[in-house]
Every structure is written in structure tokens, then in C-alpha cells.
């Protein structure tokens, strides 16, 4: 008997639900970004600052993913933005199904952008599509400039890379040009934003990019 090669890609359950999520975002004209990094690189600090700085320009909602606690959702709540906390109870990434439930709890008819803060993990979340339009990877200078080379998957898939905590650059051996070069080898279209979510240095370019992404998305048919 001959072997028949089946070429058709079989979608995983997660991929199927992620496609439904992306339809839901499109129907509601909401750009969705999936923010990924190792624990403590500054995702929540950056999100809170971005929301505050863009308050009068766009409407942002947040889905927070953590293994436990609603600490991050509480921090986002202080900005006044709508936020939903998902606890994965041990899982090291968010699933499309969790996002599907999260979307239903957000006031989506009032939003232009949903940012998902994924569980702190530089490896696993990049393998699970959530229905987002793009991934944003956050790398802080305290983690070392070799991370793009050592953990290539997320840097290859991301639309933008934040190099956070540049206020600490004098105290750590982080070569920004090396990190940029290694990430660009993996992904020539990657937009790179060195900034400090603490002091605000470099935030303008990042904020401008976000507004452009929203505008481009909303212009699409």
C-alpha cells in the first residue's frame, strides 16, 4: 500500500479559537497586541505609563495574564483603563480560549486597542497565537544583551521590541547595538524602541508607533 502524504494543515484547538478572536477584534475595529517578556522586565510599568500618556488620544483596554494574583490588574486599574485579570493557575502562557472569555468581559465597543500582558516567560507564550495583530517583546537591560540570540523565537515573531530600563544602562553590561543587531538578524522588519518606563525617556517614539498601528488597523477594510 502506498503512503499518502496529507499536506493540509490541521489546526490546533488553540489556533481555531485564535482565529475566532481575530474576527471579533476585526468586527469591533480593535487592534490587539500581545506583550511578551521574561518576568519583571517592566511590562506592567510600561503599560500603565503608555495608558496615562495616551489617555486623551486613544482608548486602551488590558487583559492581564498571571499565574496567580490580581496585582497587575490592580496597577492598571489605577490608570482608569478597563482591565481583566486572568489567572492561569500554573500554566506559563495564556491560551486563545482564555482571551476569548476575557474579551467578553471588556467593554469592547468603547476600545481602540487591547493590550494583552502575557505570563512572564520569554519562551512558551510565543508559541500560542491569541488572535492578536502583533506581538511586542520587552527586554530589559538588566537581563543581558544575549537574549535575542539565545531565545530567538519571540524576537523572530514580534513586530516591535522594547529595550526597557535604559535608565540603568550605566550599571549593567548591556550593549544596545549588539542586542539590536542580533534581533534584526532574526527579524529585519522589527521596530526597536529603547526606553525607560520609569523615567519616561524614549516613550514618545513608542507612543507614536502605537497610534500609527491603531490608525493603520482601523483604515483596513
Stretch in the footprint of ligand GTP (CB under 6 A) among 146-154, 169-177, 194-202, 212-220: 194-202
Q: How many residues interact with Zn ion (rule CB under 5 A)?
A: 3
CB 217 within 8 A of CB 134: no
Choose the one of ligand GTP, Zn ion, Mg ion, none that binds residue 180, judging by a C-beta under 5 to 8 angstroms depending on kind.
Answer: none
**Residue 43 interacting with Mg ion (CB under 5 A):** yes
Three cell numbers, residue 140: 530589559
Out of 18, 21, 41, 85, which residue is the one contacting ligand GTP (CB under 6 A)? 41
User: Binders of Zn ion among 13-72, rule CB under 5 A?
Assistant: none
Q: Is the Cβ of residue 104 or residue 171 nearer to ligand GTP in the bound state?
A: 171
Rounded distance, CA 113 to CA 217, Å? 10
CB of 72 to Mg ion, least distance (A): 4
CA 97 to chain centre: 17
User: At residue 128, what are phi and psi to the nearest 5 degrees?
Assistant: -115, 105
Size of the site for ligand GTP (CB under 6 A): 17
Q: Are 112 and 60 in contact (CB under 8 A)?
A: yes
- The answer to the question of residue 44 lying near Mg ion (CB under 5 A) is yes
Q: By C-beta, is 124 or 149 nearer to Zn ion? A: 124
CB of 118 to Zn ion, least distance (A): 10
Rounded to a whole number of angstroms, the minimum distance from the CB of residue 98 to Zn ion is 12
93 binds, among Zn ion, ligand GTP, Mg ion, none (CB under 5 to 8 A by kind): Zn ion
Question: Helical H runs in 28-160?
Answer: 43-53, 71-77, 96-104, 147-150, 152-157
With b for 16 or more beta-carbon neighbours within 10 A and e for fewer, the 168-203 pattern comes to ebeeeebeeeebbebbeebbeebbbbbbbbeeeebb
Instruction: Pick the binder of ligand GTP from 18, 34, 45, 98 (CB under 6 A).
Output: 45
Beta bridge pairs of residue 65 = 86
Q: Angle at Cα 76 formed by Cα 105 and Cα 93, nearest 5°?
A: 65
- One of 21, 95, 98, 196 touching ligand GTP (CB under 6 A): 196
| Residue number with CB closer to ligand GTP (93 or 165) | 165
Show the cell assigned to 80. 482608569
Residue 93 interacting with ligand GTP (CB under 6 A): no
Q: Are 76 and 62 contacting, i.e. CB atoms less than 8 angstroms apart?
A: yes
Q: Where on the chain is the footprint of Zn ion (CB under 5 A)?
A: 92-93, 124
Amino acid at each position: 500500500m502506498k503512503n499518502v502524504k496529507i499536506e493540509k494543515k490541521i489546526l490546533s484547538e488553540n489556533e481555531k479559537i485564535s482565529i475566532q478572536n481575530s474576527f471579533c477584534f476585526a468586527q469591533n475595529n480593535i487592534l490587539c497586541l500581545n506583550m511578551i517578556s521574561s518576568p519583571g522586565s517592566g511590562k506592567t510599568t510600561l503599560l500603565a505609563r503608555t495608558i496615562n500618556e495616551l489617555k486623551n488620544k486613544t482608548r486602551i483596554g488590558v487583559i492581564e495574564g498571571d499565574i496567580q494574583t490580581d496585582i497587575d490588574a490592580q496597577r492598571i486599574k489605577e490608570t482608569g483603563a478597563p482591565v481583566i485579570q486572568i489567572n492561569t493557575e500554573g500554566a506559563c502562557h495564556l491560551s486563545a480560549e482564555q482571551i476569548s472569555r476575557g474579551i467578553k468581559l471588556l467593554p469592547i465597543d468603547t476600545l481602540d486597542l487591547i493590550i494583552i500582558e502575557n505570563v512572564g516567560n520569554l519562551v512558551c507564550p510565543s508559541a500560542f497565537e491569541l488572535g492578536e495583530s502583533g506581538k511586542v517583546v520587552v527586554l530589559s537591560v538588566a537581563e543581558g544583551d544575549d537574549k535575542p540570540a539565545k531565545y530567538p523565537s519571540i524576537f523572530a515573531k514580534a513586530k516591535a521590541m522594547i529595550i526597557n530600563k535604559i535608565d540603568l544602562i550605566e550599571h549593567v553590561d548591556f550593549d544596545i547595538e549588539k542586542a539590536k543587531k542580533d534581533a534584526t538578524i532574526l527579524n529585519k522588519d522589527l521596530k526597536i524602541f529603547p526606553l525607560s518606563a520609569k523615567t519616561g525617556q524614549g516613550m514618545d517614539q513608542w507612543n507614536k508607533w502605537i497610534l500609527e498601528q491603531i490608525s493603520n488597523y482601523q483604515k483596513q477594510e
